[in-house]
Amino acid sequence: HNLRFFGVPGQQHLLLLRSTAFLAALGFGWTAMQKLPIGVATGIVYSNPVLSGLLASFILRREKLSMAFAFQAIVCLTGTALIIPTAAKEGGADAESSDYFVGTVVAVISACLHAVCPCAVRMMEGVHPLEIQLFQDAFATLATIPLSVMAGGPAVDVEVWSHVHFSYVIYFTAAGLTASFLFIAGWRMAPVTKASLFTYAEIPTSFLVQVYLFQDIPAARQVLGASMIVIATCVRLRMEGHGFNDDKAADELVPEDHKDADDVENEPLLYQERRPTSQSMRRQWQDVLYLP
C-alpha cells in the first residue's frame, strides 16, 4: 500500500470533513473542561458513540441497529443526563451557573462533532489509517497553530516554558496521536457501533483523575450516571461476545426480499464483519501496521 499524503482522488472531501470535525470537537471539548469538572465534561462528550451509531445507521446503510444498541443508547443517554450539573446542586452562584450552562452546551456540540469522525472514516474506500492520521496532523499544524497564536496574542510565548512544560507536551501529544491512530484503525476494521464502545473506558478514568488530581468529588447523582454508562457498555460487550450482535438483528429487520442493490453489493463485507476469525483479524492488523 503506497501512502498518499492527500488521500485517494475523489475522497479528499471526506478527509477534510473528518479533520475539521475532529479538531473542532477537540476545541469545544477543551472549552468544556475549562468550564466543567473533567469527569463531567468527559461523560457528556462521550455520549458521542450513541450519536455516531445513529448517524452511521442513517448514512452507512449496511450498519443496522439492534435492540441491544437501543437498550445501551437509552441507558447511556439517561446516565449522561444525570452527569449534567445543576446550578442548585453544584453551587448556585450566577457566574458558576453560567459556566455550567456554557460548558454543557459546548460539551454537547463536541459530542456531535466527534460522532461525525467514525462515519467519515467508514465512508472512505482504499484509504490507509496512517493516511488519515497524516492528513489530520498536517491540517492541524497548518490551521490550528496560527489561529492559536492569533487568538492568544502575547499570552502564547513558548520561550517562557520550562523543560517540564515541554515534557508534558511531548508525552500528551504522543499519547493523543497513538490513541487517534488506534481509533482510526478500529473504525476501519469494525462497525461504528462496535468499535466506538471502547471509548467509554475514558469516563471512569476521567472521574478518577477528577478526584485524585483535582480533589473534586462528584455528586452521587453523577457517579450513578457514570456507572450506568459503564455497566450498559459492559453488558453490551458481553452480549456481543455471546453471539447476540447487531448483524444478527439486522438480518431479522431486513428480509432477503427487501434488500436493495446496496445491501446485495455489500453482502461479502457484512459476512466478514459478522464472523471475524483470528486469521482475518491478523491480516487486517498486518495491513494497518505494514507487516509482511
What does the alpha-carbon distance between residue 274 and residue 268 come to, in Å, rounded to a whole number?
A: 10
Residues of 57-82 as b/e, b for ≥16 C-beta within 10 angstroms?
beebebbbbbebbeebbebbbebbeb
Give, in order, the Cα–Cα distances in Å from 204 to each of 13, 95, 100, 115. Answer: 35, 28, 21, 20
Sort 251 into a burial class: Cβ within 10 Å, 0-12 / 13-18 / 19+. Answer: middle
* pTM, full prediction: 0.70
- For residue range 204-250, list pLDDT tens digits in order: 888 988 898 888 888 899 999 999 999 998 888 888 766 554 444 44
Residue 273 is predicted with a pLDDT of: 43
Mean pLDDT of 18-38: 89
Out of 30-39, 141-150, 200-209, least confident range? 141-150
What would the mean pLDDT of 150-166 be, rounded to a whole number?
Answer: 64
Distance CA 229, CA 74 (A): 10
Q: Are 56 and 209 in contact (CB under 8 A)?
A: no
In 176-188, which positions are buried (b, 16+ CB within 10 angstroms) versus exposed (e)?
A: eeeebbebbbbbb
What would the grid cell of residue 128 be? 490507509
Q: Kindly write down the DSSP assignment for every residue of 119-181, as one continuous string.
A: HHHHH-SS--HHHHHHHHHHHHHHHHHHHHHHHHGGG--GGG--HHHHHHHHHHHHHHHHHHH
Percent of the chain with pLDDT over 70: 68
Instruction: Please list, in sequence order, all residues whose beta carbon lies within 8 angstroms of the beta carbon of residue 44, skipping any fewer than 6 positions away.
Output: 32, 36, 80, 83, 84, 104, 107, 108, 111
The pLDDT of residue 104: 92
Determine the pLDDT at residue 223: 92
State the average pLDDT for the chain: 75
* pLDDT over 70 (residue 159): no
* Averaged pLDDT for residues 75-83: 92
Q: State residue 111's pLDDT score.
A: 94
pLDDT at 251: 36
DSSP structure class, residue 206: H
Q: What is the pLDDT of residue 199?
A: 80
User: How far from 283 is each of 23, 54, 129, 276, 292, CA to CA, in Å?
Assistant: 31, 29, 15, 11, 9
- More confident: 272 or 138: 138
Q: Domain ranges in the chain?
A: 12-286
